[in-house]
Amino acid sequence: MSTKLYVGNLSFDSTEIDLQDLFAEAGTVQEVALMQDKFTGKSRGFAFVTMASADEASKAISLFHGKNFQGRPLTVNEARPREEGGGRRDFGGGSRGGGRPERRY
């Protein structure tokens, strides 16, 4: 079963190919997703790498966590599931309009 890893503290010059090549040293890489700013297209400094097995993911963590890559020490650990809600906060507060105006007599 595949295991997704979080890879942080990346150089902003890192590419998906760089990560593919690096993590291939630990085993079969199924997917690399480098997170990019949607407005500038530049790297946000982190990525997700999916390894083919849990053993290969463990090997990648032990090989690359703290390793200097492109001038920066990597943070590599097992990715946590995304939290529901996407960061949107709802503090309640009732209606936000859209109804009939109140009648005054």
Q: In the chain, where are the structural domains located?
A: 3-78
- Nearest Cα to 63, choosing from 22, 92, 14? 22
Radius of gyration of the chain (CA): 21
Decide: 72 and 22 in contact? Cβ < 8 Å.
no
Cα end-to-end distance, the chain, whole Å: 70
In tens digits, what is the pLDDT along the chain, a chain of 105 residues? 899 999 999 999 999 999 999 999 999 999 999 999 999 888 899 999 999 999 999 999 999 999 999 999 999 999 998 777 655 555 455 555 555 656 666
> 14 exposed, middle or buried (CB, 10 Å; 0-12, 13-18, 19+)?
buried
Specify the pTM.
Answer: 0.77
CATH homologous superfamily for the domain 3-78: RRM (RNA recognition motif) domain (3.30.70.330)
